[in-house]
């Protein structure tokens, strides 16, 4: 197992400076005077003061006790704090000199025992052991000037600059949920990221109004907290307050948040208000929820119109599968739509394999089936490849298109995937790059060459489709040798129809018989059934003529050892999940 590298003593300062310098240069026209002053003042600090500031920012809260701070790389913390105070990065309070902060948050820095001792010392009254810390804090807030004399003699620090720093974080990461731990994951070698240029042409924010709109969005998200705690009125107010910016990233976030808000309003029983919220979102499942409400309310004409629009152009596979299930059950009156959605796809070919329960449980059902095949067919090779082989090969072949430099796709150096990977226009925005990648699928030779070239050049770099532990060079060669180019083309096209949904649902095993060919095997243990995304893939396998079947494992209480197939059951309906 590789040993994690030792981080430099001041790694955190290096990373902090990288963020500030990157934003100050790339977004010089976006940051305002206060943010520029924050940057200029920080880089003008001594290294010790910079280290202390970043150390404090990395800890929870804004308030800190001097007697609890100790950092080996900062020789004089008090002097560093004084320097930070001179540049308005923090405020120092000497409690014993009467300089009490106006806020009460600082009192939480002290333990229950310290608060109790302070109260007893200052009032000569015994504090009952049954009083909790919150009750002691309440007493302190009522008479802090008298009681503070009994607290430990230590200065307390309050750190400033959070608002300015949020701007730098937002411009660098493109969001406010990532922080400087992303650097640590990289520095420790836990993740390796693809390299891509972050320049003026590719930056995600181009005007101050977009930045302010993002700040408003995150402020509203923070205000909302857990949506289950809000009333219908509060939810509607937040929805109405969301910024209307059409910047692509914020538009996606707004539409997603509107769906969340609408869903909670619907749960509260306000269908009309929820319907209005859903109408403002193009994010799945907004149209699904609208259709459900319209049908429940008996608005047949509006429901028919929406359902026809969804059937004509579903936003993704999930919406399509919803229609296939919902319309025949809830909209039977619409014969035209029911007929259009009716899909006559035969059930997958199925075989039943019996084996001792002990074998299944000890090996795991997939490994047990693989072992049984290899035992019955010496020379066959079975590889566990659920959602790994086909998506992995896709990631290798289309690597350059996935990581093409598209404005707004990459915010910072720590992205495993472009921000718009699962958006409807993902391929359109990279059409030239995808056209080049498709050329690799003209023959088995060019396919193998491209796959191996990417495999060797990008080994270990994080990619949402590639799992390096499974996708070996040997497996790549064998797969390209056995699977026709036309099959690769077909499964890649289907994958691209809905990258989010179709990258899952693929069979557990791939079987390579001794001489030639391949077969995909989905293994189902006792009581397990095909999921929707698996049935979607099996339908595509049938359309493409790809050999695939389901192996249903049943426990054989009379068996003492091996396992065996008991025959095909083609054409039988699979149990619904």
| Structure confidence by residue, pLDDT tens digits, 283-336 | 999 999 999 999 999 999 999 999 999 999 999 999 999 999 999 999 999 999
Residue 568 has pLDDT above 80, yes or no: no
> Alpha-carbon distance 216 to 211, whole Å?
9
What are the two backbone dihedrals, phi and then psi, of residue 158, each rounded to the nearest 5 degrees? Answer: -120, 120
pLDDT in tens, 98-146: 677 777 788 888 888 888 888 888 777 788 888 888 888 888 777 777 7
Average pLDDT over residues 554-567: 65
Q: Are strands 548-555 and 349-355 parallel, antiparallel or unpaired?
A: parallel
pLDDT of the residue at 570? 38
The pLDDT of residue 561 is: 52
Tell me: pLDDT of 507 over 60: yes
Alpha helices in 27-161 (DSSP H): 33-43, 47-57, 77-86, 112-123, 133-142, 144-147
H-assigned helices in 458-545: 473-482, 485-497, 499-502, 532-544
Q: DSSP 3-state assignment of 177?
A: coil
CB 167 within 8 A of CB 174: no
CA dist 200 and 211 (Å) reads 15
- Mean per-residue pLDDT of the chain: 90
For 78, 89, 90, 108, 320, the CA distances from 156, given in Å and listed in that order, are: 11, 14, 10, 11, 59
What pLDDT is attached to residue 372?
Answer: 92
- Mean pLDDT on 215-232: 95
pLDDT exceeds 60 at position 575: no
pLDDT of residue 1: 42
Residue 522: helix, strand or coil by DSSP? strand
Structure tokens at 136: 């002691």
Task: Indicate whether 228 pLDDT > 90.
Answer: yes
Instruction: Report the pLDDT value the prediction gives residue 125, as an integer from 0 to 100.
Output: 78
Structure tokens at 37: 């002053």
Token pair, residue 128, equals 């009952």
Q: Which fold has domain 193-341?
A: 1.25.40
Are β-strands 509-512 and 519-524 bridged in parallel, bridged antiparallel, or unpaired? Answer: antiparallel
Residue 189's pLDDT is 65
- What value does the CA radius of gyration of the chain take, rounded to a whole number of Å? 31
DSSP assigned state of 348? P
pLDDT tens digits for range 528-540: 999 989 999 999 9
Report the 10 Å Cβ neighbour count for 543: 11
Please give the pLDDT value at position 120.
84
Question: Residue holding tokens 């930056």?
Answer: 203
The pLDDT, as a whole number, for residue 345 is 55
Q: Quick one: which of 230, 99, 208 has its CA closest to 156?
A: 99
455-464: string of b/e by CB count within 10 Å (b at 16+)?
beebeebbbb
Q: How confident is the model at residue 441 (pLDDT cuts 50, 70, 90)?
A: very high
Structure tokens at 406: 């598209």
- Widest CA span in the chain: 92
Q: What is the pLDDT of residues 373-410, one digit of tens each?
A: 999 999 999 999 999 999 999 999 999 999 998 988 99
pLDDT in the model for residue 569 = 41
d(CA 282, CA 83): 51
- Residues 221-244: what's their mean pLDDT? 96
In angstroms, the CA 575 to CA 232 distance is: 40
The predicted structure's pLDDT at residue 255: 96
Q: How confident is the model at residue 571 (pLDDT cuts 50, 70, 90)?
A: very low
- Nearest 5°: the CA angle 494, 370, 385 is 30
In angstroms, rounded to a whole number, what is the distance separating the alpha carbons of residues 525 and 549? 14
Model confidence at 344, pLDDT cuts 50, 70, 90, reads low
For residue 191, what pLDDT is reported? 78
Comparing 307-311, 471-475, 564-568, the range with the smallest average pLDDT is 564-568
For residue 354, the cross-strand partners are: 554, 564
Share of the chain above pLDDT 70, in %: 94
**What is the distance in angstroms between the CA of the first residue and the CA of the last residue of the chain?**
40
Q: What is the mean pLDDT of residues 535-551?
A: 94
For the chain, what are the domain ranges?
Answer: 11-110+152-166, 193-341, 349-568
Confidence at residue 479, expressed as pLDDT on a 0 to 100 scale: 97
Supply the pLDDT for residue 250. 93
Q: How confident is the model at residue 197 (pLDDT cuts 50, 70, 90)?
A: confident
Is a pLDDT exceeding 60 seen at residue 230?
Answer: yes
């Amino acid at each position: 197992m590789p040993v994690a590298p030792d981080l430099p003593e001041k790694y955190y300062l290096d990373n902090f400076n990288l963020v500030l310098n990157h934003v100050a240069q790339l977004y010089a026209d976006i940051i305002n005077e206060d943010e520029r002053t924050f940057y200029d003042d920080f880089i003008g600090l001594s290294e010790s003061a910079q280290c202390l500031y970043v150390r404090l920012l990395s800890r929870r809260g804004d308030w800190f006790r001097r007697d609890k701070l100790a950092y080996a790389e900062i020789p004089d913390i008090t002097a560093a704090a004084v320097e930070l105070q001179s540049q308005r990065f923090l405020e120092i309070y000497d409690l014993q000199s009467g300089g009490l902060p106006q806020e009460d948050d600082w009192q939480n820095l002290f333990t229950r025992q310290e608060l109790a001792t302070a109260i007893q010392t200052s009032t000569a009254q015994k504090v009952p052991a049954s009083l909790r810390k919150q009750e002691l804090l309440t007493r302190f807030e009522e008479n802090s000037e008298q009681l503070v004399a009994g607290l430990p003699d230590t200065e307390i620090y309050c750190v400033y600059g959070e608002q300015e720093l949020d701007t730098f974080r937002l411009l660098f990461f493109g969001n406010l949920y990532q922080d400087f731990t992303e650097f640590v994951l990289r520095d420790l070698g836990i993740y390796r990221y693809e390299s891509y240029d972050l320049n003026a042409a590719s930056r995600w924010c181009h005007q101050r109004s977009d930045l302010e709109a993002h700040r408003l969005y995150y402020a509203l998200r923070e205000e909302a907290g857990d949506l289950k705690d809000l009333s219908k009125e509060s939810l509607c107010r937040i929805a109405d307050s969301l910024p209307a910016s059409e910047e692509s990233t914020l538009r996606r976030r707004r539409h997603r948040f509107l769906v969340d808000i609408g869903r909670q309003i619907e749960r509260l029983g306000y269908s009309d208000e929820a319907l209005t919220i859903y109408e403002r979102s193009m994010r799945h499942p907004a149209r699904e929820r609208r259709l459900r409400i319209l049908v429940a309310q008996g608005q047949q004409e509006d429901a028919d119109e929406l359902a026809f629009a969804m059937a004509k152009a579903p936003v993704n596979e999930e919406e399509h599968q919803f229609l296939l299930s919902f319309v025949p059950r809830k909209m039977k009156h619409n014969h035209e739509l029911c007929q259009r959605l009716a899909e006559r796809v035969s059930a997958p070919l199925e075989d039943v394999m019996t084996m001792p329960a002990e074998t299944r449980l000890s090996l795991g059902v997939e490994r047990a089936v693989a072992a049984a095949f290899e035992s019955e067919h010496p020379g066959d090779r079975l590889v566990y490849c659920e959602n790994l082989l086909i998506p992995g090969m896709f990631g290798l072949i289309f690597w350059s298109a996935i990581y093409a430099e598209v404005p707004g796709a990459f915010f910072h150096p720590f992205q495993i995937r472009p921000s718009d990977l699962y958006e409807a226009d993902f391929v359109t925005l990279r059409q030239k790059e995808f056209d080049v990648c498709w050329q690799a699928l003209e023959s088995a030779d060019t396919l193998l060459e491209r796959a191996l070239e990417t495999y060797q050049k990008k080994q270990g770099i994080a990619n949402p489709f590639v799992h390096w532990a499974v996708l070996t060079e040997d497996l790549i060669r064998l797969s390209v040798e056995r699977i026709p180019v036309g099959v690769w083309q077909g499964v890649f096209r289907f994958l691209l129809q809905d990258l989010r949904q179709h990258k899952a649902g693929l069979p557990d095993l791939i079987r390579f018989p001794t001489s030639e060919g391949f077969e995909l095997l989905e293994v189902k243990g006792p009581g397990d059934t095909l999921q929707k995304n698996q049935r979607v893939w099996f339908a595509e396998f049938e359309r493409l003529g790809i050999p695939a079947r389901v192996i249903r494992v049943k426990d054989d209480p009379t068996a003492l050892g091996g396992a065996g197939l008991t025959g095909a059951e083609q054409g039988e309906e699979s149990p619904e999940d």
